[in-house]
Structure 1
Amino acid sequence: MEQAKTLQNQNSKSTNLGKRYQIILFPFNNAATNCYFALLTFITYYGGYYLSGSFVGGVLSATAMAALTIALSWVVTAMRIFDGITDPIVGAMIDKTNGKLGKFRPYMIVGNIMMAVSILAMFFLIRPIQASWLRWTLFILCYVIWVLGYTCQCACTKAGQTCITNDPKQRSQFVIWNMLGMIGSIVLVNLIGNGLLPIFINPVDAENGFGAQYNPQFYNILVPIVVLISAFYTVLALIAIWKKDRPEYWGIDTQSELARFRDYIDLLKNNKQILWLVLSAGCNKLAATIATSGTVAILVYYIMMGNYNGLYLPMYALSFVFMAVFFFIGTKTAGSKGQKRAVTQYTAIAFLFYIGLVVLLSIWDPNNSATHLSLIHWAEDGSMYFKTNLITIIWIVFFGCGYGAYNLCSEMCIPMIADCTDYETYRSGRYVPGIMGTLFSLIDKLVSSFATLLISVFTVSMIPALNGKLPSTGLDLTNFDFSGVKLSAIICFCLLPMIAWIVTLLCMYFYKLSGEKLREIQAVNAVRKDAIAGGMPKEEAMKMWQTIDQVPAEYVQEASKTPKENFMDKIYNKIWGKKEKTKAAPSSNAIEIPAQYRK
């Protein structure tokens, strides 16, 4: 059956199918940048120790380190804003590029080299510098170069997929390989940095809280590992895109003029689909950043449940099992019914499971251990034992399913950017994958930058016992005043994500790129492309073919057999299906390409 569907797609002139290895390997471009992203979560440790002069014999004090950490936090925040600003600039540069190495490969190669050079300089080359002002200057300069390299390569993750495939089933498969790439990048680096290296690397000053992450030897091992793994992943992604990064896979006109500034203004004004997608994804990212932050994890698993080490890591590991299941099922839904349908359906599922988490957190009582989560414990002699209860089992199911569903929706946004790029080509004739992807990244980064502020508002300001500090595992819970803890946890862990999901469901109501609409877009773009290649002016082609009923049959993908309507179909069609395009009979008013424009 699957093979028959593939042959149907191959027989349609509208379909640009990627090879299996291209679908598998290209998401590792995202993994390549995520390796560095995970490495820089340690930057406040390394930066504070380095900038204090401790590497060159400076005096290390807790007061000085606290001040340096605050200053460094401002630097990191400024770099994130700078990162967001550079996104649309790099996106515009990608759209204007058409060289021997194509449109995307130069930025992938140069971006990875810039990140490698800047990180090696930051962690090794400038380490012996004596002068304080020069240390700060060179550190920030290295950071700026890293941001530019990160932006260059990261932009290609979202933009490059447009030329690899336009088949909805294949695009949805990017999600699965993105998940594997995330495990091989963010999870791997955190496992090495937070799990393995602290076992073998000595702390600098354990009494004052300066652990292994402050030790230069920690970075002597971790940094080269990250650089090599990222370079390897970049090579894999380059192999994937090498044969597709050519003009014949860029939009409908291989000789199209370069995008101008006013074209981007027109895009922002008239391409509502990318705006609905950006709004949805931005709110989701903000809520997910808060809900999955270490601060909120400490609030729930340490302050509320009193067993951080026995709950956090096991829950984190189990969530990946649920996530894998949802990614597999979700990509099937996206491939057969469209990515809009998958995002809508699994966002609603996540919302329902999180209602259950709200109930479980609401019945929590600090004085009643029966309302606490229980999984792994340690006896007084240090031996580990397992003990659980019904609430914990229900929590694992509710949290695992909710976590898996909303992570699927977050990852699904990446291939949906490619859909919006195809829609822009359909709408205006322009192929601008760079600005589409980086516009998404800009809003995503700006919105998520509010996460730290909101965490402070809903934890520090609501829990008097914190005395103005963020939750930490060093708190003494013996006589702790739990006032405000329950409400704070419910808001941060559940309600903020649920509000974001309501926004997503509203955005998907207005977002019109359903599976059927994308089928029309691909067919119209394909016939226009062939006509333009035969010499027809682009303006004439844009006017001649606008809907699927005008497209010759050989350009229309054969529709999948519609299964019997199930319960989820009925709900979806009743609410979100109202805004979707009414089906027009393909090729019922077909306009053939005039003879003089046929190749």
Structure 2
Amino acid sequence: MTSRNSDRLAKLSSRERIGYGLGDAGFNFYWAIIGSYLVFFYTDVFGIGAAAAATMITVTKIIDAITDPIMGGIADRTNTRWGKFRPYLLWGALPMMGAGILTMSTPDLDETGKLIWAYATYSLLMLCYTVLNMPYNSLSAVLTANTQERNKLNSTRFFFAYFSSIFVGAATPELAEYFGDGDRYSARGWQLTMVVYSIIASCLFVVTFLTTRERIQPSITQEKTNPLNDLKDLFTCRPWLVLFVLALVFMITMTLRGSSAAYYFRYFVERPDLLGNYIGLQMAGLMVGAMFASTVTKYIDKRKLMMSLLCVVAILSIAFTFVPKPQSNGVLDVASNEIQLDAGTLLGQSHAEGDTYQWLRHDKIFWIIKVRVPLGETGPNLNLADAKGQVISVIRTGADGSVRDSAELPKEIIWMFALNILISIALGFKPPITWAMYADVADYNEWKNGRRATGMTFAATTFSQKIGSAIGSALMLSVLAVMGYQAGQMQAGASLDSIIYMQTLVPGLFALLTALSLVFYNLSDAKVESIQQDLEARHT
């Protein structure tokens, strides 16, 4: 025991940091598709009503959140030759693979049967996720107690997490369309996409198990304490309570932004072909923020940095609300088998004598990599049969030689993308910083109470995240149901306004609330350093 704790302030090798980070890349093959596409999958692919889906997601996530503290207590009292937390990455990988595939499967059932299937499979997926993810989160606190090493570890972790999220965010619509034989709303396409993701994730969990080592362990007497004492320590710990609120409100913000994007681009922007680009660049922005987090925290206290960044998010999100609808679609993602197109609709201008046109079909290779294939029609109108799933644009050559390409992005869409990227960069700092703060709280509780409950600390935190995610999903679906949302039909009035606000204004207000909660966080970086020195002396 002494030898395991003697290197508690150890510096981690690049191999161990990368190995640990790849584990979160694996989790985000599940989490990114849940956060960005699951609500859309249930309403527009599986065919569950918005109100029923809202109730289902809320109930299952609340039940799932309750299992986190239970799993935390179990993990804290697990003892194997591989450690307390690492073994779960092996034991739970295959069950989670099966649960993920079942969740994205759509058997031919009536409305009641669909709901029962959704309740059962999603609950199973979240239970399996808890069994793996809670020990994985706790693992970061027992690899080292060195504050800067933890910052670097969590920056590495979220770099890989967002890297896989970029792939999932960008590739999911493309893969669903590919596996669905050209139909992005095909149930089979979504199922096979999850098969690919779950296989990759399971391999990454094994890599994390093989490349990490647990160095910090509690005393033998501590392991015999009652888990209720661990919970009591947390709910009387002011820093942890602040982080609990922060995680809760932050997850509402992220869930609203992620899950409303599909509706925003389908019904407001009317450019669903840009959704993969939007989500992918959103994840890229988050990754950039995570990359710089460990460097910036060398110079700025974590609490002050988080408050400043969340205020920036609030300001930019509120500004996002005022970006207007593009005046013309420019590119049409065909939703029916037969279509009649007028060039004036795409270009936003009427036909003039002498104008010639070249119609083009966008064949996708991957994400933003596309090839435009010329069609035979050169007149102002285009008639297509069997056109569902095709993306069409047109180039007009005027009698005076001027050229106008409808595929050029309107300035409104450019502003949407720019604000999304800036918001995402600011938000990207939050996860690596706050996960390092959770590890600080585990050390603080050990220093204050003489008991170390790493698993319970992280489990209770993920509890708040899941409750926040449930509130975010339920809020969005409930608002859609109240405002009269009908899947697959163009939205207007209150229904369309609610979609706009849930992508822009509402997340900004929640970000501001999150920043205000940090006023009460009283565990500064300087105090953490003092606590670490005291704990090191005790263990020595």
Range into which the TM-score falls when normalised by the shorter chain: 0.7 to 0.9
Calculate percent identity across the aligned residue pairs. 17
Q: How does 1:257-336 map to 2 (within 5 A)?
A: 257-294=223-260, 296-299=261-264, 301-310=265-274, 312-336=275-299
Secondary structure in structure 1 of the residue aligned to 2:224:
coil
Q: Match for residue 417 of structure 1?
A: 438
The alpha-carbon distance between structure 1 residues 258 and 453, as it changes in their structure 2 partners (threshold 3 A), is same
Q: Which moved more, 1:429-438 or 1:503-512?
A: 503-512
For structure 1, list consecutive stretches of 5 or more residues without a partner in the other structure.
Answer: 1-11, 50-61, 463-467, 531-599
**Cα distance between partner residues in 1 of 2:416 and 2:102:** 46
Q: Which residue of the other structure, out of 167, 179, 183, is the alignment partner of 1:188?
A: 167
Are residues 1:80 and 2:61 paired? yes
Q: Which residue of the other structure, out of 485, 489, 495, is the alignment partner of 1:469?
A: 485
Aligned residue pairs total: 469
Equivalent pair of 2:155/2:292 in contact (CA under 8 Å): no
Q: How does 1:511-526 map to 2 (within 5 A)?
A: 511-526=521-536
Q: How does 1:32-43 map to 2 (within 5 A)?
A: 32-37=26-31
Q: Match for residue 213 of structure 1?
A: 186
Q: How does 1:17-36 map to 2 (within 5 A)?
A: 17-36=11-30
Equivalent pair of 1:333/1:341 in contact (CA under 8 Å): no
Measured against aligned partners, the alpha-carbon deviations of 1:504-560 in whole angstroms (never above 9, x if no partner) come to 222221112221111111111111111xxxxxxxxxxxxxxxxxxxxxxxxxxxxxx
Equivalent pair of 2:57/2:474 in contact (CA under 8 Å): no
Which of the two has greater helix per residue?
Answer: 1
**Cα distance between partner residues in 2 of 1:142 and 1:66:** 16
The alpha-carbon distance between structure 1 residues 121 and 499, as it changes in their structure 2 partners (threshold 3 A), is closer
AA of the residue aligned to 1:29: G
AA of the residue aligned to 2:203: F
For structure 2, list consecutive stretches of 5 or more residues without a partner in the other structure.
Answer: 1-5, 334-345, 348-357, 362-392, 394-404
Equivalent pair of 2:58/2:473 in contact (CA under 8 Å): no
The alpha-carbon distance between structure 1 residues 159 and 225, as it changes in their structure 2 partners (threshold 3 A), is same
AA of the residue aligned to 1:277: L
The alpha-carbon distance between structure 1 residues 307 and 127, as it changes in their structure 2 partners (threshold 3 A), is closer
Secondary structure in structure 1 of the residue aligned to 2:222:
coil
Are residues 1:107 and 2:92 paired? no
Q: Which residue of the other structure, out of 497, 500, 503, is the alignment partner of 2:513?
A: 503
Equivalent pair of 2:103/2:118 in contact (CA under 8 Å): yes
Equivalent pair of 1:281/1:410 in contact (CA under 8 Å): no
AA of the residue aligned to 1:164: L
Shift of 1:282: 0.9
Q: How does 1:407-486 map to 2 (within 5 A)?
A: 407-456=428-477, 458-459=479-480, 461=482, 468-469=484-485, 474-475=489-490, 482=493, 485=496
**Cα distance between partner residues in 2 of 1:237 and 1:491:** 39
TM-score for the superposition, normalised by structure 1: 0.67
Shift of 1:443: 1.6
The alpha-carbon distance between structure 1 residues 149 and 308, as it changes in their structure 2 partners (threshold 3 A), is closer
Q: Match for residue 339 of structure 2?
A: none
Higher RCO (CA-CA < 8 Å; seq separation 6+): 2
The alpha-carbon distance between structure 1 residues 297 and 73, as it changes in their structure 2 partners (threshold 3 A), is closer
The alpha-carbon distance between structure 1 residues 127 and 147, as it changes in their structure 2 partners (threshold 3 A), is same
TM-score for the superposition, normalised by structure 2: 0.73
**Cα distance between partner residues in 1 of 2:48 and 2:293:** 47
Q: How does 1:170-249 map to 2 (within 5 A)?
A: 170-183=149-162, 185-189=164-168, 191-202=170-181, 213-215=186-188, 219=191, 221-241=192-212, 244-246=213-215, 249=216
Q: How does 1:56-75 map to 2 (within 5 A)?
A: 66=47
**Cα distance between partner residues in 2 of 1:393 and 1:143:** 36
Higher CA-based Rg: 1
**Cα distance between partner residues in 1 of 2:488 and 2:495:** 18
Equivalent pair of 1:39/1:226 in contact (CA under 8 Å): no
Measured against aligned partners, the alpha-carbon deviations of 1:445-464 in whole angstroms (never above 9, x if no partner) come to 122212233224555546xx
**Cα distance between partner residues in 1 of 2:415 and 2:101:** 47
**Cα distance between partner residues in 1 of 2:49 and 2:267:** 28
**Cα distance between partner residues in 2 of 1:297 and 1:44:** 9
**Cα distance between partner residues in 1 of 2:320 and 2:43:** 38
AA of the residue aligned to 1:523: Q
Q: Match for residue 597 of structure 1?
A: none
Q: Match for residue 569 of structure 1?
A: none
The alpha-carbon distance between structure 1 residues 13 and 233, as it changes in their structure 2 partners (threshold 3 A), is closer
Measured against aligned partners, the alpha-carbon deviations of 1:422-477 in whole angstroms (never above 9, x if no partner) come to 11111112111111111011121122212233224555546xxxxx115x56417x
The alpha-carbon distance between structure 1 residues 127 and 280, as it changes in their structure 2 partners (threshold 3 A), is closer
Q: Match for residue 161 of structure 1?
A: 140
Secondary structure in structure 2 of the residue aligned to 1:449:
helix
**Cα distance between partner residues in 2 of 1:516 and 1:411:** 18
Are residues 1:339 and 2:290 paired? no
Measured against aligned partners, the alpha-carbon deviations of 1:84-128 in whole angstroms (never above 9, x if no partner) come to 11111010011112222211122222121332355578889x989
**Cα distance between partner residues in 2 of 1:438 and 1:100:** 22
Equivalent pair of 1:318/1:400 in contact (CA under 8 Å): yes
Q: How does 1:91-130 map to 2 (within 5 A)?
A: 91-118=72-99
**Cα distance between partner residues in 2 of 1:116 and 1:484:** 36
**Cα distance between partner residues in 2 of 1:278 and 1:115:** 26
Shift of 1:266: 2.5
